[in-house]
Every structure is written in structure tokens, then in C-alpha cells.
A and B are shown apart, each in its own frame.
Chain A
Amino acid sequence: MTQDACQRYLEDPEANGAHLVVCAKCRAEAAALAAKANVKPLSMDVNALPLAPWEGSSHRPWPLVLTLSVIVVAIALALCDAAGMSPLHVAEGSLASMEAIRGLLNSAASSLRQAPIGFQVAFGVAFLIVNALLIVLLRRAPRGIDA
């Protein structure tokens, strides 16, 4: 190990802590210093701590995911085949339901236009109250991890 790396470690042991892994001489010196200072490691059982939500969360079990996806797709295709329809029909059905929602909105808006002025004012007040309530609820900070 180079003298430069040892020097850097001696100057700032915390920043260059990884140096101990590769340098036996510095490791021995650090161990001797720790023994001399009578420093005891913290008696903490990590396994006794509750499981944090992020632990193991980045694991990606592709065999499980692919198997379940293939099963779901196979069931969907089999049911579509048995019902005599193609998946394209489902997409068309979804678009048709969007059209129905649009028609409903248009009819509601035209009814509102033709309604008496009192009803229009009441609708406007309800609109303002609901959106004010939404803003009030949105102002609350999420608890989540701190809970």
C-alpha cells in the first residue's frame, strides 16, 4: 500500500475509512488504538429493529413477475376466445365508455345552462366549497414514514 494512501487516512480517518480494508498496517494500528482507548462496539441487535419499508424493496423477482403476467394474459386471451371477442373489442368498449362519460358531461352542462339562475349560483357555490375543501385537505403534510 502506498504511503500517500496511509497519509491520507491518517489526516482524515473518517473520510478515508475504506483504506482500512486494503491496508493491513493501518488496520493493525487502528485496532491497537481502539484497544488502548478501551472503545467497545455498540451493543445493538440490528435484527431486533423493526423491518424498514425500503429493505429488500429493490429486489426484482422476474420469474414470479413473468409467470404471473403470462398466466393473467393467457386467462384473458382464453376468455376472450371463449366469448368470441378480440382484445381490440375491449379497447373499443373502453373508448365507448369514455364517449358515454363525455355525453353525460355535455348533457349536464346544457342542463346547467338552461337551469334557473338560482340553481346556477347554487352549483357555483357547491363548486367553490368542494374545491376549497380539497385545498384544505391537500395542505396537510403526509405522515407516511414518520408515522
Chain B
Amino acid sequence: MRRMLRLFLPLTIVAASLVTAMVAAPSDSGLHVPLAVADATAMMQKTAVIATLLAVWMFAAIALTLLSGREIRYSSIEMRASALHCFALGLVAVTSFALTAIVFSYLIPYGVGVPLLFALGVFAILTKIYGTIAVFHAIGMLVAGSRTREQLARRNWLRGDLAMVVIGVIVLGAIRLIPIVGPIIWALASVFGIGTALATKFGRREPWFLAWKPSLS
């Protein structure tokens, strides 16, 4: 199992390259010539956009982990401890964001819609960024995390939250480059991330709502 996980990163990169090459290559002709120059250019541009966004994600992940590594770690642990709850919460939250955005757009002519829509947009973007970075940490821990104390002591580089987040960005980024499958997996990771961010209140592990109890006098 551990060997499989260790091989996961190179295998993912090889699989991404193979599938990309298969999609780029024409299916009807035997030669590896793109169908048209425009198709090849479009594909190259798409890959360049993904790689650039990946670099931006890398810097965002490093910055957020340096600022609040403990919170990211708590969220990552929560995601692995109760994955189904995080996924369900993420799905409901994404649906709620969409419906609420439509309702706020409906309210734009009445004057209150614009600030509400702006606040919802900022909250949704922050939730997605934080949650996706927590997913990076969880994936990094799954792929390259230490299992024993001896293993941890032996390692110089592959230890710590920052390394796990960076490994997660690389693995999920490599998967993202796979056509068709990549965007789906990335979207699922976003749903997981949004759910985790909300379930742990951005790693603070505080309740969202205070429970009211009548005082016994």
C-alpha cells in the first residue's frame, strides 16, 4: 500500500501525459499529427492556462499554510476522519451558494442585492480557496505523509505542513492536466474542500451556532 502511494505521483504524471497525448493525437489517422493547427494551439493554450493557475494555487497554498498551518491541518484531518459528511456538506453548500446568488440577483432592483451578492461572492471564493488548500494538505499527507516516527525522523524534506501542501498541489495539478477526468476530479476536490472548510469553520473547530440552554434558577 505504501509503495503504491509512493508510486502515485510519478504514475499520475505518466498517466496525465499519456492521456493528453492520446487526446491530442487524431483517432482516425495512424500518424501523430494534430487534426489542425488551430486544435493544437487551443490545446496548448488550455494547458498553459491550467499550468499558470496551478502556479497561482501553489503560491496561495504556501502563503496560507505559512499564515495558518494549524487550521489547514485541522481541516485536513477532519476531511480524512469524516469524508462523507464533508462531501455532503460541500454539495449542499454549493447548491445553497447558487440558489442564494440567484435570490440576491433577484433583489438587485430593490437596492439590497448588490452588497449581499458581493458579500456572498467573497465568502464563497474564500471558502473555496481555503478548502482546496486543505484538500492539497490531505492529498499530500495521503501520498507522502510519514507513517511512523522513525520514518519522520529520517526525513529532511518530506515532512511538515508546507511540504504536504506543496506535494498535494503537484499531485492534484498533475491530475488536473488529464483531459475530461481532470476537471471532474478537481471539481469534486473543490466540493470536498468547501465542505471541510465549513465543517471545521475554517479550521477553528468552533460551533457555527451557539446552543441556547435555559438557566436553572
Contacts and interface: CB of A to CB of B under 8 A. Distances in A.
Interface of A: 46-47, 51, 53-61, 63-65, 68-69, 72-73, 75-76, 79-80, 82-85, 87, 90, 93-94, 105-106, 108-109, 112-113, 123, 126-127, 130-131, 133-135, 137-145, 147
B102 A85 contact: no
A85 to B, nearest CB: 6
Question: Interface SS of chain B: helix, strand, loop or mixed?
Answer: helix
A101 B86 CA distance: 25
Given A56-B159, A60-B162, A130-B92, A144 B48 contact: no
Contacts of B55: 69, 72-73, 76
A76 B48 contact: yes
Given A126-B99, A138-B198, A147-B81, A87 B160 contact: no
Contacts of B112: none
B96 A134 contact: yes
A144 B200 contact: yes
**3 A-B pairs closest in CB distance:** A59-B160, A109-B105, A147-B81
A80 B170 contact: no
Contacts of A135: 209
Contacts of B22: none
Interface residues of B, number: 64
B106 interface: yes
A85 B200 CA distance: 40
B108 interface: yes
A106 B107 CA distance: 11
Contact of A61 (B81, B89, B160): B160
Contacts of B205: 142, 144
